[in-house]
Amino acid sequence: MTLMENIVRLSRVDGQIRALRQRVAQARTYHQAQLRQIESIDARISELETRRRQHRARLALAESDAATAAAREEKFRADLDAASTTKQYAAVLTELNSVKAEKSRIDEAMLAEMETIEAIEAEMASLADQRTERQRVETVAAQRLAERTQEVESTLSELEQERVTVEALLPPDSLNLFNAVAESHEGEALSNIEELDRRNRVYCCGACNVNLPLEQVAALTARSVRQLVRCPACGRILCLHEDIRGALAR
Domain map (residue ranges) of the chain: 3-167, 186-249
The DSSP 8-state label assigned to residue 236 in this structure reads P
Bridge partner list, 202: 197
pLDDT of residue 51: 97
Q: What percent of the chain stands above pLDDT 70?
A: 99
Bridge partner list, 103: none
Q: How far apart are CA 114 and CA 55, in angstroms?
A: 8
Measure the CA angle with vertex 46, ends 44 and 52; round to 5°.
Answer: 105
pLDDT of residue 91: 92
Does residue 126 have a pLDDT over 90? yes
CA neighbours within 13 Å on the CB side: how many for 216?
22
Q: Which amino acid is at 59?
A: L
Residues in the chain, how many?
A: 250
**Alpha helices (H) along the chain:** 3-82, 86-167, 172-184, 214-218, 242-249
Distance between the two ends of the chain, CA-based, in angstroms? 24
The average pLDDT across 102-125 equals 96
pLDDT of residue 250: 62
pLDDT-derived band at 81, boundaries 50, 70, 90: confident
Q: Which residue would you say has higher pLDDT here, 221 or 207? A: 207
Q: Which amino acid is at 223?
A: R
pLDDT of residue 223: 65
Task: State whether the Cα torsion 160-165-168-171 is positive or negative.
Answer: negative
Q: Which residue would you say has higher pLDDT here, 1 or 131? A: 131
pLDDT of residue 113: 97
The tens digit of pLDDT for each residue in 137-171 reads 999 999 999 999 999 999 999 999 999 999 999 99
Q: How far apart are CA 24 and CA 153, in angstroms?
A: 10
The tens digit of pLDDT for each residue in 27-60 reads 999 999 999 999 999 999 999 999 999 999 999 9
Bridge partner list, 195: 203
Q: What percent of the chain stands above pLDDT 90?
A: 83
pLDDT-derived band at 222, boundaries 50, 70, 90: confident
The tens digit of pLDDT for each residue in 13-30 reads 999 999 999 999 999 999
pLDDT of residue 127: 98
Residue 110, CA distances (Å) to 17, 24, 71, 118 in order: 65, 55, 17, 12
Q: How far apart are CA 204 and CA 194, in angstroms?
A: 5
Mean pLDDT, the chain, rounded, equals 93
pLDDT of residue 83: 86
The tens digit of pLDDT for each residue in 167-188 reads 999 999 999 999 999 999 999 9
Does residue 237 have a pLDDT over 90? yes
At 168 the three-state DSSP class reads coil
Does residue 249 have a pLDDT over 70? no
Q: How far apart are CA 250 and CA 247, in angstroms?
A: 5
pLDDT-derived band at 224, boundaries 50, 70, 90: confident
CATH class of the 3-167 domain in this structure: mainly alpha
Is residue 114 within 8 Å of 59, Cβ to Cβ? yes
